[in-house]
Amino acid sequence: MNRFRKVCVSSLLLLVLLASVAVATETKPEPAKAEPSPAAVEEKAPVADPETVLATVGSAEIKQKDVTAIIGRLDPQRAAMYDNEMGRRAILEELVNMELFSLLGAELAVEKDPKFIETMNEVRKDVTRQFAVEAIMKDVAVTDEEIAAYYEKNKENFKVPETVRASHILVADEDEMKKVRADLDAGMSFEDAARKHSSCPSKEQGGDLGYFSKEQMVPEFGNAAYAMKVGDISAEPVKTQFGLHLIKLVDKKEASVRPLDEVRAQLTESLLNEKKA
């Protein structure tokens, strides 16, 4: 334990020394000099040497590149928080602590502890199994012929139902609908009438609901929309639980099957997972 304490003290002194050097470097007065040129102002500070030793704990050296590696494993937001002088110093301190605990573990001979041995054996087994699986699976592949055959056999899974695109104007009652009709008869566009009268949030898009299948809408609305021709406006308002709808059919897409190239990546991953299972 005495040797461990000595190492702790030495390491802490080294950290204090590093901090002192940093402060001294920051506060050291510089002789007056001429105004720098624009080129000199834009020049960036040199990047620290990755092999620079920041601390020594026992025989282990902690280098600049070790701190950088830790930052590189963080998510972008956390990396930005630590990629500065204060953040790097905090990471360095953690790395020093880790090395100190490694030294303590060696001094306490934890490797001889039965629980330690049991744990390490389990870890070794897990890692061995993982490497064995990876060795077996590394040559597993899916051919283009297998992908095509699966696609042809399962085309039902890639069917896209018929969809329509419609706009609507939703109002609460007949009196409101009469006002809508009056504006349309006077030449107002359907989109402008939707913005003026509709109580549906789609009014911000001129009543546009985008593409949808019949099943995505309440039955009354879906049946009415699917019975219309592109460009038509419903002759009578359609009543649903939400109110009265005046519907305009904008476009219609026939049912189709997604092409193989569109689903190839999805099929490749699925078939690979099946083979590896």
pLDDT at position 80: 87
For 211-221, the pLDDT digits (tens) are: 999 999 999 99
Strand duo 243-253 + 238-240: pairing = antiparallel
pLDDT at position 36: 34
Q: Is 118 left (phi over 0), alpha (psi -120 to 50) or beta?
A: alpha
Chain centroid offset of residue 43 CA: 35
* CA geometry: angle 184, 185, 187, nearest 5 deg: 65
pLDDT at position 162: 94
**Domain ranges in the chain?**
2-108, 144-157+258-276, 162-254
* Greatest mean pLDDT among 1-15, 31-45, 249-263: 249-263
CA atoms of 209 and 237, how far apart (whole Å) = 17
Question: Would the pLDDT of 224 be above 80?
Answer: yes
Residue 133 pLDDT grade (very low, low, confident, very high; cuts 50, 70, 90): confident
For 184-194, the pLDDT digits (tens) are: 999 999 999 99
SS3 content of the chain, % helix, strand, coil (to 5): 60, 15, 25
Which CATH number applies to 162-254? 3.10.50.40
Q: What phi, psi does 247 have (nearest 5°)?
A: -110, 140
pTM given for the model: 0.47
For 58-86, the pLDDT digits (tens) are: 999 999 999 999 999 988 888 888 999 99
Contact in structure between 242 and 170 (CB atoms under 8 Å): yes
